[in-house]
Structure 1
Amino acid sequence: MDYRVESSETLRNKCAACYRQFNKIEHLVEHMRTSYHSAHEPTCGICKKHCRSFESLREHLIGPLPKQECRNIFSTRGCKFCLAILDSPYALRVHQDRCQLSGVNAGLLGRFANLGIRDNTENGSTRGTQVVALACKMVGGGSDGSLDLCAKVCLIDEYENIIFQSYVKPLLPVTNYRYETTGIRPEYLRDAMPLRQVQKKIQDFLCNGEPMWKIRPRGGKARILVGHGLDHDLDSLQVEYPQVMIRDTAKYPPLMKTSKLSNSLKYLTQAYLGYDIQTGIQDPYEDCVATMKLYMRMRSQVHKTEAYPLASDPQNRNNFASWRQNELERMNPEQMLEASRSDYYCWCLDSRDM
């Protein structure tokens, strides 16, 4: 009899998302108040456990100490790229043919693009473009060559077509061309487009006729900007752009290694897309394609539709307010999870505005 009471109490104090168990219901309430569990978290397709990132889900399925039952099923029916669980080994093979992407076209087109400047920023066909990816390649400045200076920039649309690509003439002298990775020689920059001109072209194209102060996340004309480590790229171009319009694969919580540590773009592309980049001489077009593919994969996830999906939405402000403590303690774990919301903007929400 005592065992049944203890088991029932333990079940009542078990988080419905991450399955952590607590001695007291008030401890579970506090956990839900600070964990921000939601339908947007990566979730195990077998046991339905919520994970903070795809890296933690990967560890749960195939890490050093995985959940054994989940690992056994995943080993025969799990996709190692998107971490989905398929109905059968045959369904997995069909799925992985589509899920494992190729970087061949990116490499070929990137090399072809080296033949000259591409500038379609004024092209009428790009007016309807809502999402673009940006990447830069840096050469070195300063006495020791450690100062990053943008020497090549690429901008593509969601179909991986080049909108703008050009060598860039930095404002400061170049002291290290980093040829082994950039492939850039002094003569490429001698008559290159000046940084100020590149900056204006990119800024104008991103804003798309919208004043900077007027840009809003929904319903405006400004474009969503995708990239990896975009703060660094935009800083090197001296371009300003609102954070609400930026989708950075280095800062997106589901793609991060930990809550404070990013994964490299090279790792993300290999792990989640299934091909290699940044081998030998690197081209910004290749990086643009990789970040766009990652963004599109994250955006295409199908999650439960919620009227107010973010914890920061005013309507959710009191969901776990301290003055509701008694009411929250009467809820079961599933009800608490239903009231919980995400603390980051899930990219699947972009698909609802397009």
Structure 2
Amino acid sequence: MPTSNPQLTRAEAFCAAYGLRVPILLAPMAGACPASLSIAVANAGGLGSCGALLMQPAAIKAWAAEVRAGSNGGFNLNLWIPDPPPMRDAAAEDAVRSFLGGWGPEVPRQAGDVSPPDFAAQCEALLEVGPTIISSIMGVYPAAFVERMKAQGIKWFANATTVAEAKAAEAAGADVIVAQGMEAGGHRGAFDAAKAPTELVGLFALLPAIVDAVKVPVVATGGIADARGIAAALMLGASAVQIGTGFLRCPEAKLAPAWADAIGRTLPEQTLLTRAFSGRPGRAVATAYARAAAASDAPNPAPYPVQRGLTQAMRDAAAKTNDIDRMQAWSGQSARLAMAKPAADVVHELWSGAQALLR
């Protein structure tokens, strides 16, 4: 990697610090990070990642073992910082159940009685696995966990959607800030769920502001899916980029064909921020269900994770029939730039293209 300009010098230093050949990180996407995708990205010189939100400890350990068997590269394990228990409202949930009945199987009342895996047990599994990096979203890890992580030499990458969140994460001990622009696909990483739909900051505004506000390296994420985006992020002060949607059309992502096809044709304005799948705001393809759920006469979604439980039957049916209109099709605003090529080819094309632009 040449060191003829400050952007490439900064990226080279980041790569050296984290054992990478290329400053491209796979975004840790819960439910869309099979080991095969991380193996391919890591073997191409980038960083593999796992969104472990919905995984029990045994599954986290199995994922890590599979990645280690297929790659010598480091990887990142990610967890959500839990929200307080949701406030339940039986009448409101009944309205959601009735609405969902028009989109899939009848939803039983107990469908909303879901609980995420035990966070403390997941944290113990992360420490047992001992990845290069542990990352966070939706808040900061408890101080005691951060202390144990650091004692093992594990680095903490903290997702932030505002300057205030970035400063709070740095103060809590984060080694790297991942600046997530509102263009990003999937769940918004806001520390306060209530602010996620309103504190929407685009990456071009957020990234330089966070770079100026913190002393640790910053990784840019959200709407980056081609060489131009990478070059722009490095020009704005990022040390590396994190890409999610841009890898979802790769065969190693093993995505439902209808979802992968939709990503390939979705324009920026054809995505929307919605609580209709999980109860937490996330950016998705504006499918028929997502649009209907946003209509003025649609019921308000239940809080996370109740809404996720209520929509499970519809989402399962959509997956079985490859039906994009009822599918939870998370997507960033740069979806149409995603390439339907092997992940290694994507990594190589993105980084060689970005280097050419920066030179």
TM category (shorter chain) comes to: under 0.3
The structure number with the bigger radius of gyration is 1
Report the TM-score, using the length of structure 2 for normalisation: 0.26
